[in-house]
Each structure stands twice: as C-alpha cells, then as structure tokens.
Structure 1
C-alpha cells in the first residue's frame, strides 16, 4: 500500500529507502535545558514569565484546569488552546527554572497520558459528538518531546503513548478520517513528530512511521504547488479564487507552518526537488508579502506589500519555528537571517512591554491601536490591532509564548556527526552540552547584540572540536580575535554563513566585532524602510493609552486602546549619507541594558534622520493611507530619531521620500552608507530575502 501511495505522490520506489530510512538533517538540535538565555535575553524571558504567559493558567478559561475536561469548543483542551499553551510553557518553564510552571506542565502531561483510551486516542472525549480531528494534538506532541529531552525518565511513557497514537492515526488516515480543514494544512507538524520517533525511538516501526508520513502528505495541501511560481499569489488574495479549493492554503499561519512541509517531505522522499521547492517557497513569500520587520503580511489571508495591512502574531512565532527547522535541514543562511529579523522586530512589536497584552494583528505603519471604523482588515475584525487579552481571536494568546523560548532553544545546534557545535542565533547565551566522545563543552556569550556590535565568547571543552559561528549577511567587514592571537577578517561559508573556529582542550576566548551599515530598503509607493544589522528602525509615535476592558479575575489583563498625541506625518531624505547611527552603550563599560528592553525610550541604539512634515491623510478612523509619493515639505527639514521597530507600539516604518539625492553607495534595491573602500557583503535585498 505504501508503494501505491508513493506512486500517487509521484515518488519512485527508490525514493523510499529499503529500510525506510530518512535523509539526515544538516544540523541537530540540543536537548531542552542545554541552552539558557543570559543577559538582556534572560531579562526578556523573565518579563514574559511574569506576564500573561506565566499566569494565564491561573485564570484564563481556555487553559485553566477546569477546561481540561474537553467539550465542544474548538479552542478547548487538545483541540487547540491547551495544546498551544503546553507547547510554549514547557520550554518557558525549564529555561527560567520556574517550579510553578514546571509543575503545571507536568500535571498537564500526566493528565493527557492517563486519559489515553484503549484505541490510542489522546485527550478525553467528554459529552461531545465532535468527530476526532488529528491536528489539535500536534503542538502537544512538540511539548511532550521537549519534556522527554529535559526529563529522560519520562521517555518510556511518552514514547509508548505516541506509538499507540500513531497506530490509531494510521488507521484513521486509511479510512479517510481525522482530517478537517486545519489538519489538511498542518499535516507537516505531525510528520516532524513521526520523524523524531523514527530518529530516536523507532522500536522497529520504521515502515509504519514512514507510511504515516506519506499518508499525511497525501491527505493534505500540496505545498509544493501552493508555493509554486504558477500558483503563488503575488498580491492580496481576498478577491482571488483559490485554485486548490481550500482557502486555508492561503491562510497566513497555515503557510507559516507549511514552510516545514517541504523539508520534512525531503527527509522521506530523498528528492532534491523538495529542497528546491522549499527554497522557492521562502523566496516567493518574502518577495511578494514580506515586511521590513522580517515577517510577512496576512491579516488572516495573504495581504501583499501595503504597510497598513496586518500580520498575525501566531504567524510570527510559527514562521520563526519553521525558519529554524528549514535551516536545520537545508543549512541556508537566508533562513537564520530572516528568523533573527522576525525575533528582534516583529515579535516584540506586537506585545506590550510588560507582555500582559498582545495584538492579533500588527502593522508596519500603525498610527493607532483601537476599534476602527470602517474596518481596515478584509478578513478580520476592527478590534484586531488593540493590545489586550484576546482581541479578535484567542489563538494568539495561548500560542505567542512559544516565540522567545523556541528562538532560544534553536540558537545553538550540533553538526550531524555530533562533533561540532553551531552558534546560529546571536545574543547572550549560556550553553552546556556533551558532544561525541564525551566532550563536555561550556559556552558563555556576553553581548548586547542586536543593540551592540561586539560578542565575547568564552568556551571550555574537555577535548578539541570545531566551533561554528554564524556571520549574518548584513555584516560588513568585521573581525575576530582568538585568545591573544592577531585580529583576522571574517570568511564564512557562502551557503551556511558559518565561520569555523578550531577550539582546543581547555579555555578559549573569542572576540567578535560584527559591524553593520545603515541600509535603505525600497518599498511600495516610492517609500523606504531603514535598517541596521538585524533591526528595522521606525519612528516611535508618542501615544496615549486608555484601558477599555479589564478581566475581572486578573487586574493585569487589560485591553489597551492607543492613539497618537504627536506628529507622525513625516517624509525622509532618502540619502543614507544624511543618516547617523548612535549607540549609548558603545563607549560605556558599565552600561546595562534596561528591562524591558523593547519599550519606548529603552533601546540604546537609534538612527538620526533628516525629515520634514507633510500632508498624509487618514483612511477612516485612525487608519493611515499608503505613503504619499513625492510629497512636498510643509516646513523646514529637521532631525528626528528612529528607534528599533520592536520597541514601538505606534509607528511609521515605511516612509515617504521628500528628496532624491544620489546616495553614497547603491547596490541593487538597497543603499548603504560608509567608506566605499570597505567590502559590501550581501546587502539587504527585498527581492531575494536574506
């Protein structure tokens, strides 16, 4: 039967290895707990733990224990809410060593395992006539896998339960059961769980596991066609007819999860065409829907390039996770660069600084966060960009907390032979792990990055090994010093972006200088976006805040309406030679980044730009129109400050241009400032995302 399914999928018998083997990933993840946040990143996760994420189990109906009994609600228990919450809070609790959260996730795991029925189904079915749907369990599986990594003593029970479920799921798929419209788009998440079992706990069931992978792919959306140049939509889709008969294949969050489908498929087909299609999917998405913040636009469905269209918070955290998986399988620098941009821009921008409130949709140009009339979002409600407990839909409330923890747990990888350590994402970390041949390695990374250009890495190892450090595409020049050696330039691998450093037994110290240039990105309507390093810079609009709702069970859980209390109608001079970068921490050895760092006035970095006031009308109630082209200045040119996008809640980040002077250096669709004699390395180019 598997061979017949392979034929239907266009796979040859040779494509499925004789022993049902999987193609190896280029890089492997470390067990949960081996990587810990440090410095400002630890502070950021502490803010999340002290905020809504760390307390919703105390009062929020969708994840409080009273809701564990199941029911007909789509969001109840393992249909979505509990599963999302568990997936996020397992790593959150472990990384912060939070005993209360760890107890709650353990209690949740025990409850699910104890209620597995005789057929293998996970999740109690109480007073419900709903048909069984597979998808809601998938985030739970991810959380359970992480618990096994952290607590190996749980392995037997969790693996037993997963194998029982796989046997049931395989029968359901054979009978055409368990696949609703959500499971049809999110089948790749189950495939990742099956591959974890295959890689580490196959128990002789390799054929069944691969058979289930193939059946899942056959049951769902053909992502290689959705992401093909023939069918991929190049603009907003609300007035288009979906050629696949399933509108949810253009749903922003589904597509964020769908990025994993093609690299996951490659592992059991062994077909290079799947890798090629995966690469194309990423490039098409960010070419036609990409944001300077690193994310892409989908206010429910794909929304094009207009700065006022929305990006869902669930989309951001799912795309971050998928980008990490893509790098692990394929090893292309563009995935890691894009994930870092999303993490340091789009993720914090859509949360209040104390992380008690979140938006459903964020906008690149967002001059208000309030209940809007007329509704600016074709597929979502007018309340979607309000900061609160659950504006528009509750899914982002329970799903957003996976963002920071999973960025941290994917920040370091090991090579496929388990002999080398890969420092993928840049920031402050502490790592302790054991490589092959019992090589205990400890790594400490001290840095303000992305709020600084220097990284100091201290490594102790019981044996020599190869250490790899990512050099992002936006680094221009730069240097490295190992111990007391000479300063050398950076020569990373052209594909992976990794710089290799031989680490000897004992203590090694590495000093990295990662400078970047101010980069101007061309956007629609002749507008521009401003970048330096991984950070997108925006004008932080002075704002008022008004509490418009409060949860009676938790006084911190409020809905905030925000409005502008200062001018925001600015056009910029497009010449980056008129812009200057400032970093308060640059020459102060005693400087400490404030917490929470992603709040107005907190980041140490800014860019001064030449600007003038212009006429820029609104569309409806505080909904900004597209940037006007070739606007006239209404007064004198002055200097305004742009700050990191993630620290703004009301903002302009795609600016009209009032001058068209020739920049000092232009490459493709981007500009950079700096000494022309310095090398230009892979400038930011929106048509070929980094």
Structure 2
C-alpha cells in the first residue's frame, strides 16, 4: 500500500503524461511536469525493475501492467534501433534529438538528447543493459503448489520443475504487445498436474482461453488459474481483445493520449538521422523531423474510440519491431495543424497549451504508430475544438537577446532572464547562467532590448554555490547602456548601491536613460567564478 501511494503521488505531481513515467530530467521539479520533460534512461530500467519486484512480492497485477507500460512505450526509444547508442532523456513529446543545450527548460545543460554509444551518458550506459534481461527474467514466476505463472507476455520459453518435480517446458508464441493472441505449447516426458496461472491485464475487459480446442469460461478477473493434469503436446490459447481508448490528462492542460491494449500511440514523424563523431567505430546520431508535427487531434467526445481506425501495416513482427518502418500496426486519425505551436529557440518543442484549441487549418488524415516505435513523437496531443471553450494558441514570447563574455556550456545564457525566480542563490533545480570556469576575471552580460526604452533600475539575483562549488557573488558590478543611435558604452549614474547579497534580488536604481542595450560588468572575486540566476530591468 505504501509503494502504491508513493507511486500515485509521484505520478500525480510530476507524471500526468502518457508512457508510464514522469518528468525527471535529472530531478523531479515543480512546474516542469509537461510532456516535453524528459526521463533519464536509467529511470526506465530502474522503475521497470521496481515494478517487477513489487509484482513478485505482492502478486498484484497492477505492477505488471505498469511495467509493461514503460517497457513497451517509453523504454525502446531511449536506444537506437541497433541498441548501440542511447540518449540521456526521452520525452512523451520529443520532436528533435540533437546536441544543443536545452537548459533551463531541461535541468541539465549540454547534450542530453542525441544518441551516442560513448561516455557522455555514463550511468545510463551501465543501467540500460539490464532493462530487457530483468524484464525477461520476470516473464515467468513460480507459484504455490509448484506451479507457474505467466506474469508478463513476450515470445519466450520456460523450463521448470512443477507439480511432483516433473520437468516441463512451455513455449510461448505471440506478437504481443502488438497483438492480443498468446499461444502456449507444453512439452514434458510424462503428464503432471500443476496450476498454471495467467495474468489478465487491467486494460482487458474480458479474456478468452482455449485449451486443446475446448473453450473455457471467459475471464474478467486479473489472475486465472488452471489447475489440471497437463500432457505433452497440450496447447493453450489466450486471447486478450484490445480496444481503442483515450485518456484526457486534465492536470496537464487537458491534453489527450490514445491507447490500444498495452500500447500508447504517437504521431508518426519522418526521421532524418544525421551522423556525427564519425572518427569512432560506432556512430553517434542526431535525429531531426522531416514532416510536420504540430497537430491537434479531432476527437468525437461522445465516442472517442470511433475517431480512430486500426489497421495492420503488413509488416511482420521481427527481432526489432520498435522502429517506425517496422511498426506492424497503426491508427488512422484526423487532425489539424496548430501553426502557432513551434519549437523553442534551443530546439525543444514548445510547451503544450490548454485544450480544446481552435485551429483554422484544414482537416488532415494523420498516422499514429506505437509510441515505442517512434524516436520522434507527439504522444500528448492538444484536442481541436470550435466551441465556446476553445482557446487560441498563444505564440511563444520573444526570448531576450542576450550575449556574454563567456557562458559555461552546460549552463544557459537564457536562464539569466527567463522569468524563473530561484528559491535561493544555490537553487540547483532551476536554470542559471555562469561564467564558469573563469575565475577572478572581468566579465560582462548584455541585453539587447526588443525596442529602445527609458530604464531606471536593474535587479540581479546572483548565483552562489558556497559549500558545494566555486561560484560566489561578484566582488563588484556596474551597469552600462548604449542608446539607439549607438556610440560607446556609458556607465549609468547610480542613485543606490550595487548590492552583492545572496538569496535575493540586488536592486540598483540610477538616473533614467534611454537605452537600446544594457550591460552588466562584473569583477569576479579572486579564485572564484560567478553567475546570475535572474536579471530584471525596470523603468
């Protein structure tokens, strides 16, 4: 019960998104819980294993459902299809996997999304190798009465001693999770009685079982046990009918996701794989979109499932079905483009906005493929509407035009004026700008205003990680400006002191000036670097 409560709390606070995970692009952060937030590859493996352990300990099918949700939807795109490379972060909505810094929208700076076989994602490279082996290890479990349980489903073969100690082999053939038919064939030297337990997933309303051609009673419970004498050549067929459903994420701007059985579906986006780091044996890649992605779904609120058409692509399920061209199934849907939904300047997808959304674009037929097949994808969709509650998508506000003498590559110059106020000067959960590793030097940061205006104050919230790092408030600082007509930088005539206090804004006032550009000059303390958490310019 405690584990269930903890899981529910984490998902409620940070995981109102499809795919079974939550925003953890290093740490879970309040306000960073939308579908563009990523989850570390390690987290997929670790939470799958946690679900597997909880299933083993509790016998509650819910943990198997949750494990499959992550394994089939979120985990596969963390790796390249050939399993040679991985990236640090995988997101429900992810339209570009490149090397550009996404901080402070993503907590860590630097390259978090390109696919690399090498050392840049050190912890994930160790953990990722355990994801599928742990999963395979928990497909079958022992039960009381010397029986076996098919706890999760995948093509597999298990050999075990059951009943009175007789060795039995069960060969499981299936295209699950792409298809709901699972067939078991029994092999043994002599007949033996033992209980065989089958899990019925929570998404399945009614399951059908056939043993040696004889239909059994339809099953609505989460576990079903067949305690009988089994013989060599026996066959059991389990059918788990899969229905299309939608989920509205009311706590995440009323976005919607589409599901069928254990699979969640994503917009199929064309992928351009661009190799880099060519001088090494295994390639590293960035992935860019080649087709439009900014669609909202048109859904019949009275019968959401009727808004989608299921079909098979004709591709057989192979050794690696988790790639777009290998997807054996798809959904057809209707949607409209939302032109105002654009990428951020750093390449990250724009934040999703409240649904329903009004769009004047034409209706288009769009294709959805299993989420696990898509490295680029939209999985949490805006809903298109035209009623009185429909909203107009707001364009991204222009980003401040900032420049600096230097910016630490894993920090972000945009963080200096992103509107996010930290809890204190050492707040590591929001973005920051620093001059690291420059120490004891003269540095500057400059703001080109959208249009010239009269200004009379500046407020600076300094970054200072005393006790854990080597950034401190500066030794001193001044404000300079340039008018529209250009000319040299001129120091303002301050009417209040230049503060260098931690854990709050340091406001300096000065005689009003007409400025097109504003610059802060700092003298860093000897042996220390420095930085800015937030910068404001006032009238």
TM-score bracket, normalised by the shorter chain, equals 0.5 to 0.7
Question: Would the aligned equivalents of 1:603 and 1:644 in 2 still touch at CA under 8 Å?
Answer: yes
Question: How far is 1:311 from its partner?
Answer: 0.2
Question: Would the aligned equivalents of 2:267 and 2:369 in 1 still touch at CA under 8 Å?
Answer: yes
Determine the C-alpha separation between the residues in 1 that align with 2:128 and 2:81: 14
- 1:210-247 deviation line (CA, Å, top 9, x unaligned): xxxxxxxxxxxxxxxxxxxxxxxxxxxxxxxxxxxxxx
- Distance verdict in 2 for CA 1:635–1:660, change over 3 Å: closer
Residue 55 of structure 2 is matched in structure 1 by: 327
Determine the C-alpha separation between the residues in 2 that align with 1:366 and 1:657: 18
- Distance verdict in 2 for CA 1:337–1:551, change over 3 Å: farther
Residue 324 of structure 2 is matched in structure 1 by: 600
2:131 paired residue among 388, 403, 406? 403
Residue 334 of structure 2 is matched in structure 1 by: 610
Question: How far is 1:613 from its partner?
Answer: 1.0
- 1:164-215 deviation line (CA, Å, top 9, x unaligned): xxxxxxxxxxxxxxxxxxxxxxxxxxxxxxxxxxxxxxxxxxxxxxxxxxxx
Question: How far is 1:573 from its partner?
Answer: 1.3
Question: How far is 1:378 from its partner?
Answer: 4.3
Determine the C-alpha separation between the residues in 2 that align with 1:345 and 1:288: 21
Question: Would the aligned equivalents of 1:360 and 1:391 in 2 still touch at CA under 8 Å?
Answer: no
Question: How far is 1:332 from its partner?
Answer: 1.3
Question: How far is 1:626 from its partner?
Answer: 1.9
Secondary structure of 1:343's partner?
Answer: helix
- Distance verdict in 2 for CA 1:640–1:280, change over 3 Å: same
User: How many residues get paired?
Assistant: 373
2:353 paired residue among 625, 628, 636? 628
Secondary structure of 2:277's partner?
Answer: strand
Q: Which runs of 4+ in 1 moved over 4 A?
A: none
Residue 582 of structure 1 is matched in structure 2 by: 311
Secondary structure of 1:316's partner?
Answer: helix
Secondary structure of 1:393's partner?
Answer: helix
- 1:465-495 deviation line (CA, Å, top 9, x unaligned): 1100110011133311111213531132xxx
1:567 aligns with 2:295: no
2:193 paired residue among 464, 471, 482? 464
1:657 paired residue among 375, 383, 387? 383
Q: Equivalences for 1:184-333 in 2 at 5 Å?
A: 276-290=1-15, 291-303=17-29, 305-333=33-61
- Distance verdict in 2 for CA 1:378–1:542, change over 3 Å: closer
Residue 364 of structure 1 is matched in structure 2 by: 92
Determine the C-alpha separation between the residues in 2 that align with 1:400 and 1:302: 20
- Distance verdict in 2 for CA 1:529–1:505, change over 3 Å: closer
- 1:298-351 deviation line (CA, Å, top 9, x unaligned): 111114530111100000001111110011111111111000111111111111
Question: Would the aligned equivalents of 1:366 and 1:651 in 2 still touch at CA under 8 Å?
Answer: yes
Determine the C-alpha separation between the residues in 1 that align with 2:245 and 2:19: 13
Question: How far is 1:618 from its partner?
Answer: 2.1
Question: How far is 1:286 from its partner?
Answer: 2.4
Question: How far is 1:636 from its partner?
Answer: 1.7
Secondary structure of 1:302's partner?
Answer: coil
Residue 430 of structure 1 is matched in structure 2 by: 157
Secondary structure of 2:45's partner?
Answer: helix
- Distance verdict in 2 for CA 1:624–1:434, change over 3 Å: same
2:204 paired residue among 452, 472, 475? 475
Question: Would the aligned equivalents of 2:330 and 2:368 in 1 still touch at CA under 8 Å?
Answer: yes
If each structure's helix is expressed as a fraction of its own residues, which one has the higher value? 1
1:537 paired residue among 243, 262, 265? 265
Question: How far is 1:418 from its partner?
Answer: 5.3
Q: Equivalences for 1:131-142 in 2 at 5 Å?
A: none
* Rg comparison, structure with higher value: 2
- Structure 1: segments with no counterpart, 5+ residues: 1-275, 586-590, 662-690
Deviates more, 1:316-325 or 1:454-463: 454-463
Determine the C-alpha separation between the residues in 1 that align with 2:9 and 2:118: 31
Secondary structure of 1:652's partner?
Answer: coil
2:368 paired residue among 642, 663, 673? 642
Residue 414 of structure 1 is matched in structure 2 by: 142
1:484 paired residue among 197, 213, 216? 213
- Distance verdict in 2 for CA 1:376–1:308, change over 3 Å: farther
- Normalized against structure 2, the TM-score is what? 0.66
Secondary structure of 2:325's partner?
Answer: coil
Residue 498 of structure 1 is matched in structure 2 by: 223
Determine the C-alpha separation between the residues in 1 that align with 2:378 and 2:205: 27
Determine the C-alpha separation between the residues in 1 that align with 2:243 and 2:236: 23
Determine the C-alpha separation between the residues in 1 that align with 2:14 and 2:350: 18
Secondary structure of 1:642's partner?
Answer: strand
Determine the C-alpha separation between the residues in 2 that align with 1:594 and 1:511: 21
Question: Which one scores higher on RCO, CA 8 angstroms, separation ≥ 6?
Answer: 1
- Structure 2: segments with no counterpart, 5+ residues: 388-539
Question: Would the aligned equivalents of 2:207 and 2:220 in 1 still touch at CA under 8 Å?
Answer: no
Determine the C-alpha separation between the residues in 2 that align with 1:390 and 1:515: 42
Determine the C-alpha separation between the residues in 2 that align with 1:386 and 1:472: 34
Question: How far is 1:564 from its partner?
Answer: 1.4
Question: Would the aligned equivalents of 1:320 and 1:343 in 2 still touch at CA under 8 Å?
Answer: yes
Question: How far is 1:634 from its partner?
Answer: 3.7
Secondary structure of 2:71's partner?
Answer: helix
Question: Would the aligned equivalents of 1:528 and 1:574 in 2 still touch at CA under 8 Å?
Answer: no
- Normalized against structure 1, the TM-score is what? 0.52
- 1:83-116 deviation line (CA, Å, top 9, x unaligned): xxxxxxxxxxxxxxxxxxxxxxxxxxxxxxxxxx
Question: Would the aligned equivalents of 1:581 and 1:607 in 2 still touch at CA under 8 Å?
Answer: yes
- 1:501-551 deviation line (CA, Å, top 9, x unaligned): 123131321111111211111121121111111111001221222122146
- Distance verdict in 2 for CA 1:536–1:387, change over 3 Å: same
Question: How far is 1:376 from its partner?
Answer: 4.6
Question: Would the aligned equivalents of 1:573 and 1:660 in 2 still touch at CA under 8 Å?
Answer: no
Deviates more, 1:371-380 or 1:594-603: 371-380
